Structure 1
């Protein structure tokens, strides 16, 4: 007995955790700085923590129907859309699955960025779809344009965009997105992943869902809200086909604590403002002080070209700063450095500059 052939699906490779690295190196976890997974260095929203604690004390024996409804309505109000346009999910990757279920017939294709989030492809293949790619070029700073996508486009059912893009930090402009929406075939859905949207200064593409019926937008509470461990996100879709959610949603997939935490986090503007301000400061600090070329980023991370990503990341980890080797993204010369607190970011730059001085070609 064996599962079906999954050899075409590459597994998602997460950043290494502090406990894992500390165990391997025989170090105290408190001695390590983790800047490899784009997590919020300020932790979770305090209001969300209180909401989880209070709810847990009340009991977790009831299905999260009310919490799910409350969160849906609050998000609808936030974005000025109808409640049925909000597809609450276990992380933004859950919303990717819902859209794959809703849109893909077996054998239909999706078009995804390379480098990019591997789950776009994984979800398509899980739903018996095919995958094509469009290439973001290091030579032009990983610029994202409609022309770039349309050169590779061949009538795919779903086109995935990421803005800000992980791991490069590049963005789509509103004009380029609308150009693409108007150029693709009528049967093509354009999905804009805004997992890092809070860190960007550009308007959300959610503003487009009432004008176009071929766009959906993904958001998450994992980053700016600091709720990565609870796996809570959502999609926003056009009203014309929003009722498909009831047919593709996994029953009660977004759990009670996650929904309650997200509800509370939406009211914690101070935490989000602090998280965004720190990330923007850290981006500038890394760009100005790291002794390696960096790429302009609108996320809570910076991509740096260090020449030997594996070697630099391994050395940095041994010295207590965990960063992301981007070889798994097809960028063996680059590392991704998440934005830490001011102290963490300064320590990371000092550590990396010491390593780069030793490994730089003579």
Structure 2
């Protein structure tokens, strides 16, 4: 007996951890700093850490009350109804729920390339295919309606990422509105705002609810996560904000108790910890500015808690930096073999990363003042 044909599926490639790298190099983990996975350099919300400890003794119960409490808190945060909040096991779980709710077998999605591989992976799990629209290196990875429409041919779902990973670019709400107006009535626009707290942009929830001069829409949904600004990547907690018109589909597509007791209680504490979020966002903005001003190569502007750097040979630079104690993301897996992504760290971590990178670039004779040459060819996610 064998599983179904999975030849069209690819494994998700995560950033490497400190313990893994330290074992491979035979060194002490304390020698390394990890700036490869866009994690929160300040750790989890302190309030969430307390909630996790206090909740540990009650994990023998299913998270019915906790799930309802967190749903209500998130709904209050966005001024929407409880039914419009689809809690999930990380942002990945919300992606799966949206595909379950929307895709019939054989229907397709449109995804950005470079981009987050799981959009396409999840579509294929649900027997859908994948088309792409390209964010061009030569254009600074700009996101607008015209760029997305070049890859659109009536597909069921279009995925936008704002801020975009790994480039950091964002798409204005007016461009999202234009895109929604230009696509079929049964096409859903999903805006992945996993890094939304770090960007000086209004959330696309405004389009769902018809705020700030926009008409309310039933063809836009928004994805959010507790992994980044709240520092809860390890508990796996995310959610979608969906239009009221089809919000009740959640009860038919979600797994029983979609988020764990620990995750819900941590999220409930974290969502009220504004001080931690403000500190995290300020650190990211300071780190982005420092890297743009001090790295001896081109750094794209970013709305996320990371920057993309043009280094010429990502694999060599990332490996050399790793040997020198700084773990960054080689973006070859995104189809950008000339670029690395560096997570915004604390002041000390950021300064160490910049010093290490500049030393590597000088030793290897790499780097650039601005991106040159033809667009990078990007791979299927």
Short-chain TM bin: over 0.9
Tell me if 1:355 matches 2:360: yes
The Cα shift of 1:199 comes to 0.2
Tell me if 1:2 matches 2:2: yes
State the secondary structure of the residue aligned to 2:206.
helix
Alpha-carbon distance in 2 for matches of 1:266, 1:151: 38
Alpha-carbon distance in 1 for matches of 2:287, 2:7: 39
Partner of 1:256: 261
The Cα shift of 1:2 comes to 1.4
Q: How does 1:296-335 map to 2 (within 5 A)?
A: 296-335=301-340
- Give per-residue Cα distances to partners, 1:297-345, cap 9 Å, x unaligned: 0000000000000000000000000000000000000000000000000
Partner of 2:78: 79
Q: How does 1:26-175 map to 2 (within 5 A)?
A: 26-57=26-57, 59-175=58-174
Partner of 1:285: 290
Alpha-carbon distance in 1 for matches of 2:41, 2:60: 32
Q: After alignment, is 25-34 or 337-346 more displaced?
A: 25-34
Q: How does 1:188-203 map to 2 (within 5 A)?
A: 188-203=187-202
State the secondary structure of the residue aligned to 2:150.
helix
TM-score between the two structures when normalised by the length of structure 2:
0.94
Any stretches of 5+ residues in structure 2 without a counterpart?
Answer: 210-215, 368-381
Alpha-carbon distance in 1 for matches of 2:162, 2:242: 17
**Following TM superposition, where does structure 1 have runs of at least 4 consecutive aligned residues deviating by more than 6 angstroms?**
none
Alpha-carbon distance in 2 for matches of 1:352, 1:168: 18
TM-score between the two structures when normalised by the length of structure 1:
0.99
Partner of 2:17: 17
The Cα shift of 1:361 comes to 5.3
Alpha-carbon distance in 1 for matches of 2:304, 2:251: 32
Partner of 2:277: 272
- Give per-residue Cα distances to partners, 1:91-136, cap 9 Å, x unaligned: 0110000000000001000000000000000000000001000000
Alpha-carbon distance in 2 for matches of 1:308, 1:331: 10
- Give per-residue Cα distances to partners, 1:119-163, cap 9 Å, x unaligned: 000000000001000000000110001001112110000000000
The Cα shift of 1:29 comes to 1.0
Alpha-carbon distance in 1 for matches of 2:52, 2:199: 28
The Cα shift of 1:253 comes to 2.5
- Give per-residue Cα distances to partners, 1:334-362, cap 9 Å, x unaligned: 00000000000000100110000011159
Equivalences, count: 361
Alpha-carbon distance in 1 for matches of 2:262, 2:366: 51
The Cα shift of 1:207 comes to 1.4
The Cα shift of 1:251 comes to 0.4
RMSD across aligned C-alpha pairs, in angstroms? 0.9
The Cα shift of 1:246 comes to 0.2
Alpha-carbon distance in 2 for matches of 1:290, 1:296: 13
